[in-house]
Amino acid sequence: MAERALPLTSVQEKRLQSLGNLVASLKKGVTYAILVSGALLAVSPLIWMISTSLMSLGEAQGVRLVPSTIHFENYTAAWQEADLAGYFINSVKITLITLVGQLLASVLAAYGFAKIKFPRRDLIFGVMLSTIMIPAMVLIIPNFLTVTWLGRIGPIRWINNWPALTIPFMGSIFSIFLLRQFFAQIPDELFDVAQIDGAGHLRFLRQVVIPLSKAPLMVIVVLSFMGSWNALAWPMLVTNSPKWRPIAVGLMNFVDEAGQRTNHMMAGAVITIIPILILYFITQKQFTESIARSALKG
């Protein structure tokens, strides 16, 4: 092509260049416009929520987009009158108990599957992994019966108490899968060195593997947090009083009861969303990257 083209004068060249620049920057502008409008669509419902949560009832019912005066008392209303405070604390407790159990079980199992050799290891892992396919609706009925039975015969109640809300979620194959992938990348030579120093598997896990795996552990914390915060069907079944009811169920009841009080409802939604968003902003880089990586490998 270059052979056939006639030599350009310097003026023509400059013109062509500036035209090219114009096209490039126009393209860039269009790209940015699309990306920005996408981002706006993604976050505008949340911005609307915050704005409405600060309005008076009249404004929230009307067509205003921005509150004329800030009404923080909506938050106190949601927090105290609807007792979202109680549900919030329940959810924090449920999340923490689930998290501790899940981390312990998953770290041990992931290490076992990644670093220790034993007969039928891959078969057991495969069977565990296949449970991802099973829809929750198949499990929910028998698990409800199991949990009722355990509560009747055991030393503590399960229904309407923390065990039913936490213990079934402690065994998470997805957490094990994520951690196993990470642990498998840690070179075996490290363990050989540790073994010469007299360390067993447990000490190697505690002193070498866990300090190296802060990123995937963080991801599991966020995922487990999201799981507890999102769960609705199961807590609806196994709680029948506000004593242990988590915030998802509390907010749903509030949304049903609050009727026209949109401002209070949105304040309740803000209260529910904030902890998750904070956690996400702290960990977002590792979190999004781990999610993407696990998806591409799985």
Instruction: Kindly identify the residues of this chain, within the stretch 23-62, that bind other proteins according to CB under 8 A.
Output: 28, 31-32, 34-35, 38-39, 41-43, 45-46, 48-49, 52, 61-62
Least Cβ distance, residue 9 to other proteins (angstroms): 27
User: Shortest distance, CB of residue 40 to other proteins, whole angstroms?
Assistant: 9
Residue 14 or residue 28: which is nearer to other proteins going by CB? 28
Site for other proteins in 69-98 (CB under 8 A): none
Does residue 136 belong to the site contacting other proteins (CB under 8 A)? yes
Of 177, 120, 205, nearest to 291 (Cα)? 177
Q: How far is the CB of 187 from other proteins (least distance, A)?
A: 18
Site string for other proteins, 162-181 (x = CB under 8 A): -----xx-xx-x--x-----
**Cβ at position 180, least distance to other proteins in Å:** 11
Q: CA angle at residue 32 from 29 to 35, to 5 degrees? A: 155
Could you tell me the smallest distance in angstroms from the CB atom of residue 108 to other proteins? Answer: 5
Residues whose CB is less than 8 angstroms from the CB of residue 291 and which lie 6 or more positions away in sequence, other chains included: 219
Q: For tokens 């891959």, what's the residue?
A: 122
CB of 70 to other proteins, least distance (A): 19
Report the SS3 class of residue 148: helix
List 79, 161, 280, 286, residue binding other proteins (CB under 8 A): 280
Identity of the residue, 8 or 233, whose beta carbon is nearer to other proteins in the bound complex: 233
Q: How far is CA 244 from CA 149, 248, 250, 259, in A?
A: 19, 12, 10, 24
Which is nearer to other proteins, 93 or 201 (by Cβ)? 201
Q: What are phi and psi of 207, to 5 degrees?
A: -95, -20
**Binding-site member from 24, 184, 193, 292 for other proteins (CB under 8 A):** 292
Q: How far is the CB of 11 from other proteins (least distance, A)?
A: 29
If 0-12 CB within 10 Å is exposed, 13-18 middle and 19+ buried, where does residue 215 land? middle
**Cβ distance to other proteins smaller for residue 186 or 291:** 291
Using CB under 8 A as the binding criterion, the count of chain residues that bind other proteins stands at 94
Side-chain half-sphere CA neighbours of 172 within 13 A: 24
The residue (of 14 and 285) whose beta carbon lies closer to other proteins is: 285
Region near other proteins per CB under 8 A, out of 16-24, 68-76, 186-194, 274-282? 274-282
Q: Name, in order, each residue with C-beta under 8 angstroms of 46's C-beta and a sequence gap of 6 or more.
A: 273
Smallest distance, Å, CB 14 to other proteins? 25
Distance CA 236, CA 241 (A): 10
| Binders in 225-244 for other proteins, by CB under 8 A | 226, 229-233, 236-237
Q: Is 119 helix (H, G, I), strand (E, B) or coil?
A: coil
Q: Give burial (CB, 10 Å; 0-12/13-18/19+) of 209.
A: buried
The SS3 call for residue 63 is: coil
Our CB check for other proteins shows the closer of 11 and 145 to be 145
Rounded to the nearest angstrom, the gap between the alpha carbon of residue 27 and the centroid of all alpha carbons in its chain is: 35
- Of 17-25, 66-74, 79-87, 245-253, the segment contacting other proteins by CB under 8 A is 245-253
